[in-house]
Each structure stands twice: as C-alpha cells, then as structure tokens.
Amino acid sequence: MVDHDNDNDNDNDNDNDGTSTRDTTPAVSRLQRRAALRCQPGSVGSGFLPLAGWGRHATLLLCADRAHATIPRTMQAQIDLSNCDREQVQYPGAIQPHGALLVLDAATLCIQQASANSADYLGLPPAGLLGQGIEGALGAAVAADLRERLSAEQLSTSFTRLLAVQSPGGGQACHVFASRTDDGLVLLELERLDQAARVGAPELYPGVHLTLQRLQSAPTLAAFFDLTVAEIRAITGFDRVMAYRFAADGSGEVIAESVRAGLETYLGLHYPAADIPEPARRLFSLTWLRHLPDVDYAPVPLVPERNPLTAAPVDLSWSFLRSVSEMYTGYLRNMGVKATLVTTLLKDGKLWGLISCMHHAGPKCLPYEPRVAVECLAHMVSLLMAGKAAEEHGGYRLALGAARARLLDALLEADALPAALIETHADALTALDADGVALLADGRLSLLGKTPAQAEVRALAAWLAGRSELTFVTHALAADYPPAAAFQAAASGLLAVRWSHGAPDGLLWFRQEWRQVVHWAGDPSKPVEIDASGAEIRLLPRTSFALWREAVAGESRRWLDCELEYATELRRGIAELLLRHTEQLRRMNRELAASNEELDTFAYAASHDLKEPLRGIHTSVEFLEEDDGARLSTEGRERLATILRLTTRMDELIESLLQYSRVGRIDLQLQQVDLNEVVAQTLETFAPLAARGATVRVLGRLPVLECDRVRVGEIFSNLISNALKYNDKADKQIEIGCDDGASPPVLFVRDNGIGIAEKHYARIFQIFRRLHGRNDFGGGAGAGLTIARKAIERHGGRIWVESVPGQGSVFRFTLAAGPR
C-alpha cells in the first residue's frame, strides 16, 4: 500500500506482464517446509526467536537498527513467513517515544517499571520512580484523584483516558491513560496535551454527528465506505485513508480509498495474509485504535526489563504506546510510509477489516481529541455496516425468507417428510442464487441444475457427515475437499446444511467455477525477501509492491451473509420438523404397540373362549349325524356335513389366531442356540421326506445365535412346510443356509416351488390371506408366514422374500436388528 516510484521488480520471475496462474488451495507451501517460530521475549530493542526444527543455534534476529532475520546459510530452504505468525509482538519490552509508561502494582499502585524517557514527562528518571507510590510521580493531590478514578472506572483491559495532569517537574501538561493486564498490573500512559487540538475539539463533534447522518443515508455499502474514508481523512489530515476488508484466509482487499493528489491509488488491490500476520490481527481485535507517528522512531526501553512482580516481560497488548515489530516498520519504510493510524472494524464481535491511515510526507502525530473522533466513527461504522449490507440485499433477503416460509409450510402439511422434501426441493434452488442443488433424504439423492455426478455428490455428502459443523460454506471447495478438483467447473462453491450429526442427509447448493484476475500489491508468493549475499541469510520485508495480476481458478462467487442465514434457518426449521415428525412416529408406535398388546390379549382370550363352544357344536353335530343321520334327507345330511366342515375350518382359524397371539404374549427365553440342532429336530417332524418326493439340504454349518429355541423352531417349521406345500415339482428341492458374512447373519430357506409374483410380497405376510383357493395346495388357514414374521420381529429381526414365479422362492430372515 505505497507509492511505487522506487519499486524494485527484479524479484518477478514470472511472465513480463506480471500475470500468473496458480492453484489457490490454501496451505500449499511455496518453500520446502514450514518452520514454527516461537518468540521468547528478549532484551529491549531485540528479540531472539528460536526456529522450531532448526536446532538451538538457529534464531530469527529482530534488531532495533535493522529489520531482518538472520539464519544460517545451510537452512535457506527452510525459511517461511509462517514464522511471523508466531512472533509474540505483545512483549516488545519497549514503547514509542511520543509518550511515557509506568507499570504499577494494581493493589498498591506502586511503580514497578518505568520507560527510560520518564524524566521528559515527569521530571524523574526510572531510578527515582521505581518502588515509589504514584504520589512520587504525580504529587499527592493528583495521585488521590487518580486513585479515585481508577477505583470508579473498574478498569478492565480496555484503554481508558482518566484525566489531564501537570507533572510535578513543571513539564508540559499530559493526558493520563490506563489499562489493566491479565496478571494484575496497571499500565499508566502519559501523552503530551496539545492545546490547539483541545481548543478545536468542540468543532469536531458537530462534524462527526453530520457524518453519521450521511453514513446512515448512504445508498450502498460501497458509497458508505467511500464516505467513511473521506471523512476520516478530513479529520486526520493523513495523505491516504483506506477501508480494508479481510478474507477468510487472512488476505485482504482495499474496498475504499481517499488519497492525496499525486499518490498512486491502491483501490481494488489485494494483499496476502503475511502483510498483516496473525499476531497483528489479534492486537487489532483487542483495541479500536493504533497509532505510529514516526516509522523511524527509536524504541524506548522499559526499566527494568522484566516486571519484579511477575518475573516476566509485561504484556503490552492494550498499550497505546506499545513498540511495534521491526518487520512492520521495515515493511512501511519499503512502502514509503512515514506514519500510520489504524482503526478496527468489527462485525459480530470479530475482526472484519481496518481503516488504515497512512502519511507519506513525513512523521505525523495525531492528538488525542481528533483520535477520539476517529475512534467514535470506527465504532459507528462497525455498528452500521452490517445493517447497510443488509439494506443492499434487502429485497433478496425478503425473497429468501418468503421461500423458506413456503417450503416449511408445505413440509408441515406433509405426511411423509422425506418424500415431501424431494417433491418440493425445487424451491430451494429457485430462491437461492445457486447453479445446482442436491437433496439427500433417507438414502435417496435428488439433483437439480448443474451439479457433480451422483457418485461424486454421495462421496461429498459422506465427507461432510464426518465433520462436526452442520452448516458448511466455501467458495473454494477443492481447498477443503481435494477430490472436488475433478468437478470444480461445476462446483467450486458449496453451501451445505445437514439435519443432524453423523448423517449425510441434507441440502447442498453448488456454484460453478468463476475464473477471475486478482490484482495484488506485489507477488503474493513472495511475502518476504531473502538476502543471501553475505555469510548469513537475512529475512527482510518485501520491497516490491508493483501490480501483480493473478488468474485465479477453482473458486466460485462468494456466498452472501443473507444466503448463509437462509440456509441455516432452513436447516433449523427442517430439523425441528423432523424432530416433531420423529416424535409423532414414536408416539404412534407406542400407541400401536399398546393396541397390538390389547389385540393380542383379546385374540388370545377370544380364541381360547371360542374353542370350547365350537368344540361342543362340532361334537353335537357328529352325534346327530351318527344317531339320526339315516332318518334325514339327503339335503339334511349335506347340511350336517357343511356344519362339520365349517366348524373344523373355524377351529383351524381359532388355533392359528391363538398361536399368533401366544407368540406376542410369551416372554422369549433367550439363550445361545445351535441352529444346526434346531433344524435337525424340525426336519424329523416332516419325515419321511423321500415319500413326499422332497430333498432337503443344509448348506454348511449354521451359526450359534442368541435366540428362543422353541420360537426359532416354529419359524423353520413354517418356512419348510410352505416350501413343501407350494411346490408342484416332482423333485422338490429345499435348501437351508446362512450368509454369516452379513451383520447380523442372514438365514434363508430356498425352494424350487411355484414362486410368488412381486406384487404379492406384502400380502403373503398378512394373517388369513391366501393367494390360492381354500383347498388348493393342501389348504390351510393362511397364518404360517404371519406367525413366523411375528416371532422374527420379537427377536428384533426382519423377514423378506425373493422369488421368480415358476422357479421358486427364497425366504431370508435375521434374528437381530441390522442394516436394511
């Protein structure tokens, strides 16, 4: 962010037009390997930073008189600017010279440390202050006032102006600021009072009020920031004021600028994350304003270096006077910047961007009064910009809200929620600005628009199911999910929501690749320069900021906040409906279970009580036939025979009903059972099989399972009986086996009988439902398969059939719950 008159482009090893094409996947190192940097706070003016993995002799040297790192030549290939992300800039051990600092014990307000320039502000050097109460520095009257204000303010880590004082040494009047550290210290900072700024302060506030009114009336977010930087430049008098927005990867873009005539504009330029490393971003998020009046200042050390109470350097994170990193001042010098003022922009409590003020003409110290006006504007801009962005997309946001309401209303009226989702999911695409959408519900995948292939979407959904977040958003999918590189043309952007953890079901919106050219201030692949001309290799801030054009692939248009809100709220609404639907199913299942239990009880009682009168009717008719049959007419004897036949059938039906209800009422006697023994005993009841023209084979060894021996015997008996009964072949073949590779094991009974049409698969398991005439294939009540299914379900398993008419059937079942 600088004048480029003296830029050196010799480091540009790409094409002459400054254009490169690269894979924008984050975390791709451009050096051979990353080296972790852990800063150990060192002496004033220099810090020795061991480089992890390079051995104890390798250090990054940040000296007060030169901005570079020195590294043994043998380690040149291991240099990486990730080291700067680990620099502990909050422990500089020094301050800038435009103020003085006293470090106090919070309990007693005794002076523990003082900046070396204390005599310039208080008339006493550090030696005359250390160990003294604050009275020794400011006088008894001021100290009493200060103690009262410190108590009233209930200082936190925030930076607070307390009062203005006249030092006892007769020096110039000073503002007094205070903040509290996490380890129980109070930082008292003094800055000379500017009388001219103080006199002119009342004129600032009407201007700030008018600016706020104009900001509220700005028609767009771009106009909002254009006005912001113009007004701040008018207040501060800096040569350049820029609005800078951070991206998710830490890089940033200049989105608005007000600049003095004759200086090159930086509007629209992008800067790599290394230009504002993580430690600097952390400090910006803590305080609203940072000021560097003179880039070429000489740091003023604290005396002593370590605090006597903590035996450690003082954390100056909240200090207004904190000395800055030498890499930072070297960077600014290379840009031709002489002074800076930076204010923070927060959104939802997180660092969103910066207002960066730069002065190129020379050093510039902004007094307290205009700084307050700038800080006030920064607060208001942070509060207003979210609303301004919402206004800019207000119509789109309303349309998304209406579409969400329609979709949720439709789902609320639906009986089968997953099916309704699939039927109505077109609304999810037409409302959201996406190129394609996928819906996964109960294993069914529905695609609409431009999407990856089904197999690719299922694999992506499985990957998402393994993540912790329920909402996932990215404009560069391949960076997080490398297989997406194969379909990045169709889906470089992804906005996905899932209903619950661990399951893939949900909605996935896709955006196509959007190829663009990004303008960088210098080569983003070279955030530092390496000087290997001497015996040591030196790591220096970059000097080239010439326009660098980069063709970016593998990225889509970024998702808007309102789109993310739409997806999140839709997910929440659908999840609530699914929860309600699940609870309804549970309640219905409980009610059904209770009804089934009542029905079983009734069926058992009814069938048991009906058997006796039915047996009496049958016996009486038999006696009547024996005693008086000869005297009856032929028609009368036929009627007696009909009664006997019907009572016999009714007895069979009642007996089947009794068995069915008994299966539901009797407690299972679970134990380890060898199914080979159960099948052998069951086959004995069908002997001799050869007389029926049947051959039964057990394929391999059957497993030992935990089950009820009697009930499982009945299951095999019913299935074998049907295999024999519904078989019109002269050579009846029956096979019994187990697929023990499945979980749980799948048992089966296979025959070569008449087979079953697929449309009758469900009907054959209904009680008293036969597919053939009453007397065909040996007759029967039509309850055998129903009783078998009841016994299987009591074990937590299931039964199903596979059949080809005319060729035979296979009945498969499990005795424990398992995947379908």
| Cα 736 to Cα 715: distance, rounded to the nearest angstrom | 12
Would you state the pLDDT for residue 443? 80
Would you state the pLDDT for residue 819? 42
Asked if 723 and 682 touch (Cβ cutoff 8 Å), the reply is no
Would you state the pLDDT for residue 702? 93
Would you state the pLDDT for residue 602? 61
Query: Would you state the structure tokens that stand for residue 245, as one six-digit string?
Result: 């927005």
Would you state the pLDDT for residue 32? 28
Residues 6+ apart with CB under 8 A from 342: 284, 289, 290, 291, 354, 355, 356, 357
Residue 706's DSSP bridge partners are 672
Q: How many angstroms from the chain centroid is the CA of residue 758?
A: 45
Instruction: Give mean pLDDT in consecutive 10-residue pieces for the chain, a chain of 820 residues.
Output: 37 39 34 29 33 29 35 43 58 93 91 94 91 87 83 64 72 84 88 78 77 85 91 94 87 90 87 78 84 95 94 90 87 89 89 93 92 89 81 77 79 64 59 87 84 94 92 92 92 91 88 71 54 49 49 80 88 82 77 67 61 75 80 84 78 64 71 92 76 83 90 88 86 89 88 89 74 52 77 89 91 72
Query: Would you state the structure tokens that stand for residue 243, as one six-digit string?
Result: 């609005």
Would you state the pLDDT for residue 660? 62
Asked if 519 and 548 touch (Cβ cutoff 8 Å), the reply is yes
Dihedral sign, Cα of residue 772, residue 774, residue 780, residue 785: positive
pTM above 0.75, yes or no: no
Asked if 787 and 663 touch (Cβ cutoff 8 Å), the reply is yes
Q: What is the DSSP string of 26-47?
A: TT--SSS----B--B--STTEE
Would you state the pLDDT for residue 676? 93
Give residue 497's identity as a one-letter amino acid code: V
Asked if 186 and 104 touch (Cβ cutoff 8 Å), the reply is yes
Q: 203, 179, 187: which is closest to 101 by C-alpha? A: 187
Would you state the pLDDT for residue 518? 57
Would you state the pLDDT for residue 339? 96
Would you state the pLDDT for residue 248? 79
| Cα 782 to Cα 771: distance, rounded to the nearest angstrom | 9
Asked if 555 and 475 touch (Cβ cutoff 8 Å), the reply is yes
Would you state the pLDDT for residue 337? 93
| Cα 626 to Cα 591: distance, rounded to the nearest angstrom | 51
Asked if 493 and 556 touch (Cβ cutoff 8 Å), the reply is yes
Cα first-last separation, the chain:
62
| Cα 627 to Cα 623: distance, rounded to the nearest angstrom | 6
